Amino acid sequence: MKKISVLFVCLGNICRSPAAEAIFISLLKKKGLTDGFIVDSAGTGSWHIGKKADSRMRFAAERRDINILSRARQITSKDFEEFNYILAMDDSNFRNIQNLKNSADSTDFASIKKIQDFRSVFKEQEVPDPYFGGDEGFDYVLDILEDSVNGFLESIS
């Protein structure tokens, strides 16, 4: 059986997208589905390549028994060939992903969507970037992502 591959994307790949990746992995483990998926995250920017997720996001996630283990990387044109789904955290990153795809010499394999298209509880059209705010912003982003990531999993299972 071919694995379903999912890539979560935000700006720097240190807050929202690694949190979404970790939440998705946690959901897959709870449902016994980990063997059927490849999961990763990336940023449209290159500022944080190789760094761990923001310590505030890791701490907020750990309080929910979610471990963010990934290291930041930048999305590449190869990702459009390797991932079934590429999920953007906001409109700006969605446009950046589309622009990269349009300028890349790649196949039309990936389905590019906004993660908030799968929300059911929260009204936010975008996942806000908590980087420049207070600690409570990280908890709020996790709340939003738990809702929309769960909705995404339900839509593909």
For residue 90, give the nearest of 45, 134, 60 by alpha carbon: 45
Q: Is 16 a catalytic residue?
A: yes
Catalytically annotated residue among 10, 54, 73, 79: 10
Which CATH number covers residue 20?
3.40.50.2300
Work out the percent of the chain whose per-residue pLDDT is above 90: 89
Q: Is 91 a catalytic residue?
A: no
Report, as an integer, the average pLDDT of 141-147: 98
| Cα 154–Cα 36–Cα 5 angle in degrees, nearest 5 | 75
Residue 94 burial by CB count (10 A; 0-12/13-18/19+): exposed, middle or buried? buried
Report, as an integer, the average pLDDT of 138-142: 97
Find out whether 67 and 61 touch, Cβ atoms under 8 Å. Answer: yes
Task: Give the Cβ contact number of residue 135 at 10 Å.
Answer: 12
| The one-letter amino acid at 150 | N
Please name the residue that has the structure tokens 């890349």.
Answer: 104
Please name the residue that has the structure tokens 């939440």.
Answer: 23
Q: Is 117 a catalytic residue?
A: no
SS3 letters for 62-113?
Answer: HCCCCCCCCECCECCCCHHHHCCEEEECCHHHHHHHHHHHHHCCCCCCCEEE
pTM higher than 0.75 for the full model? yes
Catalytically annotated residue among 16, 56, 58, 73: 16
Cα–Cα distance measured from residue 75 to residue 2, given in angstroms and rounded to the nearest whole number:
22
pLDDT confidence band for 31 (50 / 70 / 90):
very high
* Sheet-wide strand order for 37-43: 37-43, 4-10, 85-88, 111-114
Please state the domain count of the chain.
1
Domain residues for the domain of 93 are 4-156
Catalytically annotated residue among 40, 54, 129, 147: 129
Summarize pLDDT for 67-98 with one digit per residue, the tens: 999 999 999 999 999 999 999 999 999 999 99
